[in-house]
């Protein structure tokens, strides 16, 4: 098991404890009586899913957690700003289709935007609004992205994403944007070199505690490829209108760093060699095969 996987495990375990404590949960007794409230907005999917599963089997309700397993028979009630999940109920099996992950699709969206004369259609992508902030953000930067809704698959809206090479304006990304684009920030930072005005990222200190220190990883690798980068404790600034050169970059055992710089290799002036590229298999085993198909 590589560093990135070990880091992922430790990060999630630490976040789970942090969120459970924030929820006023008694760790030795699963959940205290009554409702426990969790602010799930800044939480990663694996973390709030684990809290959700705890709620199902703890025998007490959990309120304000993300619904992921409702179609398996969980008793769920929704209000204007809340979701209530009853604990202590047995789940049932269900057959359903799993749409493509929008966060994984982001690498191919970025490739199509950055590589000249490209047009790409991505089919059967999950379009849950909590996972498509990357697309909305790019649309604000004048990227040519069309979202074509399809039929819902179970609880998830699905559809197609059509993207073309674009002259992207760039912008400052922070505040309310961060929870919905946190996983795509490495790719956004690399895209910053292709924008008119650059991309500045703030309020994202959480990136330093991911599978790698992603702020440092991105800044280090971009500099290897000849880019100018300003690094902050909570983000970085990548000026626009920069031409990447080739070089040897380090994945730092982080799947998203490996995939993001593989995309950078598509529009760099020279070859980009990635140390430990195989770490991408942690989340996307077929990534390089698909990337080769798209570029063919």
- The pLDDT of 219-237, averaged and rounded, is 98
> CATH number for the domain including 121?
3.65.10.10
How many domains is the chain built from? 2
CA-based radius of gyration for the chain: 20
Concerning whether 183 is annotated as a catalytic residue, the answer is yes
Helix residue spans in the chain (DSSP H): 3-22, 45-58, 102-114, 133-140, 178-181, 185-191, 214-224, 255-267, 287-295
Question: Does any domain span residue 90?
Answer: no
Please give the model's pTM, rounded to 2 decimal places.
Answer: 0.76
Based on the fold, state whether residues 107 and 11 are members of the same structural domain. Answer: no
Task: Identify whether the C-beta of residue 112 lies closer than 8 Å to the C-beta of residue 82.
Answer: no
72 shares a domain with 121: no
- Same domain flag for 77 and 193: no
Task: Quote the CA–CA distance of 30 and 25 in Å, as a whole number.
Answer: 7
Higher pLDDT, residue 156 or 148: 148
Of 35, 59, 85, which residue constitutes the final position of a domain? 85
pLDDT of residue 152: 61
* Residue 68: inside a domain: yes
The residue-averaged pLDDT of 85-100 equals 73
Domain that holds residue 289: 102-295
Residue 276: CB atoms within 10 A of its CB come to 17
- What is the rounded CA–CA span in Å between residue 11 and residue 216? 17
- Shared domain check, 263 and 136: yes
Same domain for 213 and 184: yes
Taking residues 29-37, report their average pLDDT: 41
Q: Which of 36, 64, 183, 254 is catalytic?
A: 183
Do 119 and 156 belong together in one domain? yes
Res 234: pLDDT: 97
% of the chain exceeding 90 in pLDDT:
57
| Tens digit of each residue's pLDDT (9 = 90 or more) over 173-200 | 999 999 889 999 999 999 999 999 999 9
pLDDT-based confidence at residue 157 (cuts at 50, 70, 90): confident
């Amino acid at each position: 098991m590589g560093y990135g996987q070990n880091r992922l495990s430790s990060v999630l375990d630490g976040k789970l404890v942090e969120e459970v404590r924030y929820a006023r949960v008694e760790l030795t007794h699963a959940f205290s009586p009554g409702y426990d409230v969790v602010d799930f907005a800044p939480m990663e999917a694996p973390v709030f899913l684990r809290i959700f599963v705890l709620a199902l089997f703890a025998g007490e309700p959990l309120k304000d957690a993300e619904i992921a397993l409702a179609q398996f028979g969980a008793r769920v009630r929704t209000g204007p700003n809340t979701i209530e999940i009853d604990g202590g109920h047995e789940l049932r099996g269900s057959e359903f289709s799993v749409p493509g992950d929008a966060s994984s699709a982001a690498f191919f969206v970025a490739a199509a935007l950055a590589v000249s004369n490209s047009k790409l259609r991505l089919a059967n992508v999950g379009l849950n609004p909590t996972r498509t902030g990357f697309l909305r953000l790019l649309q604000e930067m004048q990227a040519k992205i069309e979202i074509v809704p399809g039929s819902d698959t179970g609880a998830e809206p699905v559809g197609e994403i059509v993207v073309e090479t674009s002259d992207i304006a760039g912008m400052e990304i922070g505040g309310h944007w961060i929870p919905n684009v946190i996983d795509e920030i490495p790719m956004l930072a690399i895209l910053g070199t292709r924008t008119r005005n650059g991309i500045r990222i703030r309020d994202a200190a959480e990136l330093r505690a991911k599978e790698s220190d992603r702020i440092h990883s991105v800044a280090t690798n971009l500099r290897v490829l000849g880019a100018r980068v300003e690094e902050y404790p909570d983000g970085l600034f990548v000026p626009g209108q920069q031409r990447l050169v080739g070089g040897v970059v380090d994945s730092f055992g982080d799947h998203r760093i490996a995939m993001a710089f593989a995309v950078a290799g598509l529009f760099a002036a020279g070859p980009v060699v990635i140390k430990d590229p195989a770490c991408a298999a942690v989340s996307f085993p077929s990534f390089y095969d698909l990337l080769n198909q798209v570029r063919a």
